[in-house]
């Protein structure tokens, strides 16, 4: 049997190869799942692209209004397909990713700019939905509307992983197939529309619950963006005045605490409630039998 010889001309010892095997397998697994060293990732280009989608002005506002009205119609007629169609054209994720990028890169101006545009987008969305449901005579509580009146554990997870997919796709500048799926997954539009519906019919249970769901989803999308931006080590914003830079870092740390602490607390509350509800439903199904007439 001939002995194998490597490219350097030296004989390979089979025992040495076996010893190196676990390390080689681990390196391969890491290379499969890692994207931090990807040559296609250009932080400067990604930052510029995200910044370009933050501002809500002109055509962006009208696209948002159209998507909100389509989503409201879908909720009104209880059509999942129409709701999905509305989310495909929604530009609402731009400011949310901008907030995450600002926090991840210590860019306080970007955080403020993104928050302002997030507020504009939110107000425009709720107002458009409110006017639609106020004008339309059809105000039935469809199953699609009722599904967005309070958060569920899966809603939170969908928002986080949807946001994660979105920022990973943005880092690769490959939004062609991923962002539409993210827009569906994060479900930002329906809660806003239900908020407008609740205001139109004057039911606080609807508009408070739906708006809470929207804010919670937004927080977890923002959190996913922060995680990826930090993981990819995007360049941090620098300031000439070191005292100002220190103060800005304190402000951002405070903002991050505001995002993380309530999100963690609410996540636990929703998780406990979901587990209790599921356990109760299982108990009723298994132990309580219907009375035969």
Number of neighbouring beta carbons within 10 Å of residue 52: 10
Q: How far apart are CA 206 and CA 153, in angstroms?
A: 18
Arithmetic mean of pLDDT over the chain? 77
CA-CA distance, 15 to 12, in Å (whole number)? 9
pLDDT mean over 169-177: 64
Give me the percent of the chain exceeding a pLDDT of 70: 77
Exposed, middle or buried, 120 (CB in 10 Å: 0-12/13-18/19+)?
middle
Over range 145-165, report the average pLDDT: 78
Alpha helices in the chain (DSSP H): 14-33, 43-52, 59-76, 80-88, 93-104, 108-135, 143-146, 153-171, 175-186, 189-201, 204-231, 242-287
pTM of the entire predicted model: 0.74
pLDDT, tens only, 191-226: 899 999 999 988 888 888 888 888 888 888 888 888
As beta bridge partners, residue 5 has 11
Distance CA 42, CA 7 (A): 34
Cβ neighbours around 54 below 10 Å, total = 23
- Is it the case that residue 4 has pLDDT exceeding 50? no
Distance separating the N- and C-terminal Cα atoms of the chain: 83
What's the CA gap between 252 and 108, in Å, rounded? 7
| pLDDT for res 43 | 78
Q: What is the pLDDT of residues 26-42, one digit of tens each?
A: 666 766 666 655 566 67
> Do residues 192 and 214 lie in contact, with contact meaning Cβ atoms separated by under 8 Å?
yes
């Amino acid at each position: 049997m001939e002995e194998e010889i490597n490219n350097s001309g030296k004989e390979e010892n089979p025992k040495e190869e076996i010893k190196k095997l676990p390390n080689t397998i681990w390196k391969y697994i890491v290379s499969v799942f890692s994207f931090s060293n990807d040559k296609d990732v250009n932080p400067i280009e990604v930052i510029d692209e995200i910044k370009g989608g933050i501002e809500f002005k002109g055509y962006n506002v009208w696209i948002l209004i159209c998507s909100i009205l389509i989503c409201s119609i879908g909720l009104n007629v209880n059509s999942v397909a129409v709701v999905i169609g509305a989310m495909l054209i929604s530009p609402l994720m731009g400011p949310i990713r901008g907030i995450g990028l600002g926090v991840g890169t210590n860019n306080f101006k970007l955080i403020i700019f993104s928050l302002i545009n997030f507020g504009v987008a939110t107000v425009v969305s709720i107002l458009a939905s409110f006017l639609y449901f106020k004008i339309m005579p059809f105000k039935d509580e469809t199953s699609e509307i009722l599904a967005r009146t309070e958060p569920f554990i899966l809603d939170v997870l969908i928002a986080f992983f949807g946001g994660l997919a979105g920022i990973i796709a943005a880092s690769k500048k490959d939004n062609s197939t991923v962002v539409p799926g993210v827009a569906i997954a994060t479900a930002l539009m329906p809660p806003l529309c239900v908020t407008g519906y609740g205001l139109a019919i004057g039911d606080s249970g609807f508009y408070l619950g739906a708006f809470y769901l929207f804010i919670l989803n937004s927080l977890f999308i923002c959190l996913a963006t922060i995680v990826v931006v930090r993981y990819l080590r995007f360049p941090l914003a620098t300031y000439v005045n070191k005292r100002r830079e220190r103060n800005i870092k304190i402000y951002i740390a405070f903002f991050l605490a505001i995002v993380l602490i309530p999100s963690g607390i609410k996540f636990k509350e929703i998780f406990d409630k979901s587990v209790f509800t599921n356990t109760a439903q299982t108990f009723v199904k298994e132990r309580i039998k219907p009375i035969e007439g």
